[in-house]
Amino acid sequence: MPMLELASALQQTRIDTIDPAYFQQHIRALSGDRQWTTTIDSIRMTTDTDPNVGRYQEVLVYFEMTPPDPALLRDFNFRYNAIIHEVVTHKILVFVKQDWKNGIQNGEQIGIIKMDTRSGKVFPMYINLEHGTYWTGFKNMVMLGIEHIREGTDHLLFLLALMLPAADRIKRLIQIVTAFTIGHSISLLCGTLGWIVIPSQWVEIAITFTILISAIHIIRPIFKGKEAWIAITFGFIHGLAFASALNNLDLVPTEMALSILGFNIGIETMQLFVLLCTVPWLLLINNVWIKYLGGVIAIIASLGWMIERISNEPNIISAQIEQIQGKWFILVLAIIAIIAYVTRWVRTRSLS
């Protein structure tokens, strides 16, 4: 279901009336000659200051438009001339806040309503979202899954912390990543469908706990040989965080099913990419002290995130880590691996 948002351009003017009937008269939608029902939910006036225009008053109007037929929801003329007929410089920015079939999740401007200076009229805005497709929505969910991992520094650090102790065996690495995939896929489904509901703050705190435990395991093995079982358990926790990205979408069953599938494919695609980029370097490292260093860094990061998510206040550790992108993790890992390999090679040559 598309969701529209309006944003009024700042005006250094005063609105003397906030009568609901006024806005009822000046906000309309038509599909052909069939008029939609407009309901004014609430109106309030705020006063603020902008460095460019000075002190101004702004009217916030919350309204709902209902088509005479649900089939007309995505194709209509939007007529809006509130305030514009009195203040000709006023502009209305029209956004689609969310439209799954067009791949819009975080808002996208689709037009501006303003006075036509030649005719002195405010023409209606034609809105047509019919070009959206299931394929577009599905592709957007795949990209959303990729972005969620790419920008999720905590998820990336958890994967690296879990893989580091098993860096000497490809089979164990594959088992760990596969187990993590199974765990988060199950909870992603359960969380998205509402079968499991846990406050997001608790989930985020639990994620930092999984990183902390995995980091300690690097330095002092806690569950040696059982990393895959831990990965599936911890993956279940991370999957609940993944589900939060889909929970706020108002989707019909078909769209929700495709969203879960596409989002999961995106997550797996990015995880596979991370695996391919890190495994060669992990195999090259094979140095206990470097692994210990990685564990210490992961412990510090997890504690910083934990404090931030408990207090809801950023700290110097969490702020610094959030600025580090995943590619820098991989680059640093590659540099460390090369140094470790060259050092080992030189030492071997000198002994021989």
Higher-confidence residue: 212 or 316? 212
User: For residue 117, what are its two tokens?
Assistant: 């200076």
pLDDT above 90: percentage of residues in the chain: 14
Higher-confidence residue: 335 or 269? 269
Q: Which amino acid is at 325?
A: Q
pLDDT score, position 170:
75
- The count of residues in the chain is 352
pTM, entire model: 0.74
Q: How far is it, in rounded angstroms, from Cα 186 to Cα 196? A: 11
User: For residue 126, what are its two tokens?
Assistant: 């034609």
Residue closest to 306 by CA, chosen among 182, 157, 177, 89? 157
Angle in degrees, 0-180, between the axes of helices 200-219 and 288-311, rounded to the nearest 10:
160
Question: Please, are residues 301 and 209 in contact by the beta-carbon 8 Å criterion?
Answer: no
pLDDT surpassing 70 at residue 1: no
How does 2-35 read in b/e, with b if 16+ C-beta sit within 10 Å?
bebebebeebeeeeeeeeeebbeebbbbbbeeee
Q: How far is it, in rounded angstroms, from Cα 351 to Cα 36? A: 85
Residue with tokens 């596409």, as numbered in its chain: 262
Q: Considering only 2-16, 33-47, 180-194, which range has the smallest mean pLDDT?
A: 2-16
Question: Which phi and psi (to 5°) does residue 42 adopt?
Answer: -160, 155
Highest averaged pLDDT of the listed ranges 6-20, 162-176, 232-246: 232-246
Q: How far is it, in rounded angstroms, from Cα 338 to Cα 352? A: 21
Question: Please, are residues 18 and 45 in contact by the beta-carbon 8 Å criterion?
Answer: yes
pLDDT surpassing 80 at residue 16: no
Higher-confidence residue: 84 or 249? 84
pLDDT band at 348; cut points 50, 70, 90: confident
Q: How far is it, in rounded angstroms, from Cα 185 to Cα 335? A: 33
pLDDT score, position 71:
85
pLDDT surpassing 80 at residue 347: no
Which tens digits make up the pLDDT trace of 84-99? Answer: 888 888 888 889 888 8
pLDDT surpassing 90 at residue 51: no
Higher-confidence residue: 227 or 190? 190
For range 47-71, the mean pLDDT: 84
Domain boundaries, the chain: 3-128, 134-351
